[in-house]
Chain A
Amino acid sequence: MGDLASKLMAELECETVFTIPVFGGIGIAESVVVTWIIMAILIIGAIILTRNLKIDHISKRQAVAELIYTKLTGLVEGMIGPAGKSYVPYLTTVLLYIGLSNIIGLFGMKSPTKDLNVTIALAVMSIVLVEAAGIHHKGVGKWLHHFTEPVAIVTPINILEVFTRPLSLCMRLFGNVLGAFVIMELIKIVVPVFLPAVFSLYFDLFDGLLQAYVFVFLTSMYIAEAIE
């Protein structure tokens, strides 16, 4: 048990892989490096899939690219509605990034979403986008006025919501990924063969993709609410 506790501590801390020797040293955490790997995978995949696009006589590669694009954007557009069409590319990117970073743990790398800083950054980006969308669509005056709706007495709760929304977004993602990891480690201690593989299907693949979906779903719900 003591071994597990120390292992958990090691997982909670984000180690610094190397330091860039400028401005007194900028530490590069492990999650940043894994994020670079994910970026490389996504960019190379995108370049390979979108080379030589044609209008007629499309190749199989282009058919796959079109299928992925229409499915993903259709999924996000279904959540946010036609009014928020301009936010679909950002949300799809976040969906791809969180989904890939949740399942990259299967390949022996440390998921970036297990680092609290990454999920905080994602949640702050989401809430900034939500408020910016509200200001952009309504104008500053109407945006300020929506805090007092439906009645003036709920204003403190509405203002509090600006802070609790990103908190719940980041804690949900972080807690789910970490919780799945802890349960997987416990299962590996009790039954080291076969059973971890079965549970890994649920905890790593299904739950990881579901959490990416939930994150994007909530963000798009907030945006749809802000721009209505």
Chain B
Amino acid sequence: MNSLIAIGAGIAVFCALGAGIGIGIATGKASEAIARQPEAAGKINFTLILGCALAEATAIYGFVIALMIIVMLK
């Protein structure tokens, strides 16, 4: 039973896949934008950090669900 719980928690962390792809795309585009317009770097950085914080939430949901699986089923 314990190993099944561990596998379930591991699968829940697959959520992080989406966050990783999303933040990767966002950062790539942000570097492109800064290369094109270096004077707007401050604004772009700010938007990037905000977007990353929002995209990160998906990974956080996965973490919360994994933790809940472990805590509730144990």
Write the residues of chain A forming the contact surface with B, with a CB cutoff of 8 angstroms: 8-9, 12, 168, 171-172, 174-176, 178-179, 210-211, 213-214, 217
Most chain A CB atoms below 10 A, which of B50, B60, B61, B67 = B60
Main secondary structure of the interface of A (DSSP, over half): helix
The reply to whether B71 and A176 contact each other, CB–CB distance below 8 Å, is no
The reply to whether B71 and A175 contact each other, CB–CB distance below 8 Å, is no
Please report the total number of B residues contacting A with Cβ < 8 Å. 12
Main secondary structure of the interface of B (DSSP, over half): helix
Write the residues of chain B forming the contact surface with A, with a CB cutoff of 8 angstroms: 49-50, 53-54, 56-57, 60-61, 63-64, 67, 71
**Within 8 Å CB of A175, what residues of B?**
57, 60-61, 63-64
Nearest-neighbour CB distance to chain B for A185, whole angstroms, equals 13
The reply to whether B49 and A210 contact each other, CB–CB distance below 8 Å, is yes
Given A9-B71, A12-B71, A178-B67, A171 and B53 touching (CB < 8 A)?
no
Pick from B49, B53, B56, B64: contact of A174, CB under 8 Å = B64
Assuming A171-B60, A172-B57, A211-B53, what are 12 further A-B pairs, CB within 8 angstroms? A9-B71, A168-B57, A171-B61, A171-B64, A174-B64, A175-B63, A175-B64, A178-B63, A179-B63, A210-B53, A213-B50, A213-B53
| Residue contacts A-B, CB under 8 angstroms, 18 given | A12-B67, A171-B64, A172-B60, A172-B61, A174-B64, A175-B57, A175-B61, A175-B64, A176-B56, A176-B60, A178-B63, A178-B64, A178-B67, A179-B60, A210-B53, A211-B53, A213-B50, A217-B50
